[in-house]
Amino acid sequence: MDVTQTKQEHLLALKVMRLTKPTLFTNLPVTCEDRDLPGDLFGQLMRDDPSTIKGAEILMLGEMLTLPQNFGNIFLGETFSSYISVHNDSNQVVKDILVKADLQTSSQRLNLSASNSAVGELKPECCIDDVIHHEVKEIGTHILVCAVSYTTQYGEKLYFRKFFKFQVLKPLDVKTKFYNAESDLSSVTDEVFLEAQIQNITTSPMFMEKVSLEPSMMYNVTKLNTVASGDDGESTFGKMSYLQPMDTRQYLYCLKPKPEYAEKAGVIKGVTVIGKLDIVWKTNLGERGRLQTSQLQRMAPGYGDIRLSLEMIPDTVNLEEPFDIICKITNCSERTMDLVLEMCNTRSIHWCGVSGRQLGKLSPGAFLSLPLTLLSSVQGLQSISGLRLTDTFLKRTYEYDDIAQVCVVCPYTSNEC
């Protein structure tokens, strides 16, 4: 069997071109001193060069634009635009022309054609033009499939297609880190800080138009990337937020649970959805790109069955003088507890009051505020420790050390911590 087939000549020609913005023309200036052998020859040649800037010929950037010489790189988040032209190269009138453009990715096949209806006829030397656009949302191999079907004047139906393969690259490397707020006050204990490290892994600079965090329904977000100056805060990266190739920039956000969630103990447990980053940038001549991360998740810190935090504590106290604090005890378990409070003195901290007193029953998710009095016998920065809670139902004891720190000063001297 003869496996060779004669290639059929079609009446129509298909051309596909990617639409991109031009780039600034660059040249390599060559200069020398006047006393050198060429004299002013190089300078005159640059002044006569139409691509150089008059009066600034030694600059590499010129006044002209350069059209793309190749397909170029396509990055995730950019808009892929292509011009499709079907030209009638024959001397016949072609009928029922249907042009279809599909984009095949690793996971799906997308129809990019603006219209799926056929053109009635196409006369000789005439063409059908179409421009397609697609926001690239996947990395990896993409195949643009352009198919053309038509009918000759003799009623013969013909069909052909072309494939254009290209790679979609990743423009940014995004890394995230979560930090739990190290605070003793219960009003901010559930705060979490998000650090987003964004690196430009392309070969051209980027203008970072927007980097924002869209929080989930459980959190409110505060941006920490501005310096307060008047009514409007100025960006910590300056007025012109450029990111050079392979440069990395850190963005910081503070997330705080909404009151309706923060008041419910045990709601913010395990893996919680924080939100997603929305990044918008521009490259050469204003080409825009946008990237949204998937939902960011973090493991909420575990507090065990009982959570002990402080609602009020003074910053500075006097040596050997009693001072008051307010503790907040929250039942994070799913059972009712009957609690007993014991206060154990340390080398520097002495509790005032009765140890071993009954606090009563505490239902799941409930909390109680407990005022306590204590004094310090040692100057300096002292750690408050020595509280012990016992659940009489299960005979289980919970000990709390390093609850907070307080600065102890002597009222008769100027020695402070």
Superfamily of domain 12-20+69-169: Immunoglobulins (2.60.40.10)
Domain residue extents for the chain: 12-20+69-169, 23-66, 176-300, 306-409
DSSP string, 8-52: PPPSEEEEEEE----EEEE-------TTSTTTTHHHHHHHH-TTS
Mean pLDDT within 109-121? 85
Do 176-300 and 306-409 show the same overall fold? yes
Q: Which pLDDT tens digit goes with each residue over 18-34?
A: 888 777 777 777 777 77
Q: How does pLDDT run across 262-273, given as a tens digit for each residue?
A: 655 555 655 578
Integer Cα distance of 43 and 377 in angstroms: 83
Instruction: Give the pair of three-digit tokens for residue 36.
Output: 């050198």
Higher pLDDT, 66 or 248: 248
Pick the more confident residue, 71 or 94. 94
Residue 120 or residue 417, greater confidence: 120
Alpha helices in 83-215 (DSSP H): none
What does the pLDDT look like over 308-365, one tens digit per residue?
Answer: 888 889 989 999 899 999 998 888 788 899 999 999 988 888 999 888 989 989 988 7
Residue 2 pLDDT grade (very low, low, confident, very high; cuts 50, 70, 90): very low
Cα–Cα distance, 325 to 314 (Å, whole number): 7
User: What's residue 4's pLDDT?
Assistant: 39
**Which CATH number describes the domain made up of 176-300?**
2.60.40.10
- Using alpha carbons, list the distances in angstroms from residue 185 to 120, 160, 262, 282, 346: 75, 71, 13, 42, 22
Out of 3.30.360.10, 2.60.40.10, 3.40.50.300, 3.20.20.70, the CATH code matching 306-409 is 2.60.40.10
